[in-house]
Amino acid sequence: MTSVHDSNPEVSIVVPVYNEFDNLPDLVARIDEAMRTQPLSYELIAVDDGSTDGSARRLRELAEQHPWVRAVCLVRNYGQSSALQAGFDRVRGRYVVTLDADLQNEPGDIPLLLERLENDPDVDMISGWRKNRQDKALSRRLPSVLANRLISKFTNVQLHDYGCALKAYRREIIDRIRLYGEMHRFIPSLARDAGARITEIPVRHHARTRGVSKYGIDRTFRVILDLIFIVFFMRFRQRPLHAFGGMGLWMATPGVLILLWLLAQKIMGESIGGRPLLMAGVMLVLMGMQFIAAGLIGELLTRIYYESGSGLQYYAKDYGAIEHKPADKAAKTETAVL
């Protein structure tokens, strides 16, 4: 068995922490107990997201006691997505595991996820499914079911439980995604967009026994707004003109037809100056032109983004013997020779 104190751990466990002072010692102990049952070396990256209850101090103490624990303390509360990204920026392992610090996720399930990644090369990400969720039905489970169905329908990534924090990834998938705002809810969608092959495994879930939940029913409305962005991001990131231009044409076309019809009426001698239809036609044409102009600007920004080398247009894996040639500047790719 590889030493858990390996300077190059094979598994990086990322845990965002916000006001979980009482849970942290048990969390570290249970992760250690679970990980010692499997052969891979590991590290725990605990990211304190500006806690006000002394969690940062306790994390530093635990890091001093356990060489495999790394404490990262953010200077203020940035939100779960930023805390996760801070952890992702520091991972060293070839596998990355995430879970919450409230002990509702079961650390003992981590080896199960890692074993699947080790033995199944066709899976890049495993998402936990809290099949027997121990939360209140009305305020937690019902909004979650509705949100999961909505997200699955519009992103075409079919999962039962987007909200489960217990997930495992191959490192290259984590390296391809960036989290902003509250995008942590949509990591499976972002991972699929980055080429990940995703599966789902039932995991255990416990009721919270210490601390206070940070989630409420109000998050359902924020999920809807974030979903609008993620759908646009996945479908139109490389072709914004199709999104804005399509809406522009739907508005401008009836506007042009209205104006042509009014022009014919004018030629026939009828007065059209005071007709509300004239104003409607002009407004539709102007709004349509504005949407098309926004799409053209988006296309220019997209090309500047990709041609400057800031982003990759696609990801690929090449198999077999490959003769490497100088890369064309117009076609940037991340290639893994297996």
> What is the pLDDT, as a whole number, of residue 138?
64
Residue 195 pLDDT exceeds 90: no
pLDDT tier at 308, thresholds 50, 70, 90: confident
Considering 155-164, 299-308, 329-338, the range whose residues carry the highest mean pLDDT is 155-164
- Structure token digits, residue 95: 């596998």
Residue 303 pLDDT exceeds 70: yes
The 8 Å CB, 24+ separation contacts for 150-156 are 150/223, 150/224, 150/227, 151/185, 151/186, 151/189, 151/223, 151/227, 154/227, 154/231, 155/186, 155/189, 155/192, 155/227, 155/230, 155/231, 155/234
Residue 2 vs residues 114, 272, 337: alpha-carbon distances, Å: 15, 84, 26
Cα(240)–Cα(305) distance, rounded to whole angstroms? Answer: 13
Residue 148 pLDDT exceeds 90: no
Estimate to the nearest angstrom the gap between the alpha carbon of 86 and the chain centroid.
Answer: 14
Q: Where are the alpha helices (DSSP H) in 156-275?
A: 171-176, 187-193, 219-236, 240-267
Residue where the block lists tokens 């981590």:
110
pTM of the predicted model over 0.85: no
Beta-ladder partners of 333: 314
DSSP 107: G
Pairing of strands 333-337, 314-318: parallel
Cα(223)–Cα(147) distance, rounded to whole angstroms? Answer: 7
> What is the pLDDT, as a whole number, of residue 326?
52
pLDDT tier at 77, thresholds 50, 70, 90: very high
What digits encode the pLDDT tens for the residues 103-135? 999 999 999 999 999 999 999 999 999 888 776
Considering 147-151, 192-196, 208-212, 252-256, the range whose residues carry the highest mean pLDDT is 252-256
Greater pLDDT, 94 or 181: 94
Compute the mean pLDDT over every residue in the chain, rounded to the nearest whole number.
85
Pairing of strands 69-73, 95-98: unpaired
Cα(304)–Cα(297) distance, rounded to whole angstroms? Answer: 11
Q: Give Cβ neighbours of residue 104 (< 8 Å, ≥ 6 apart).
A: 134, 205, 206, 207, 208
- Around Cβ 209, how many Cβ atoms within 10 Å? 11
Estimate to the nearest angstrom the gap between the alpha carbon of 170 and the chain centroid.
Answer: 15
> What is the pLDDT, as a whole number, of residue 1?
46
- Structure token digits, residue 324: 């490497």
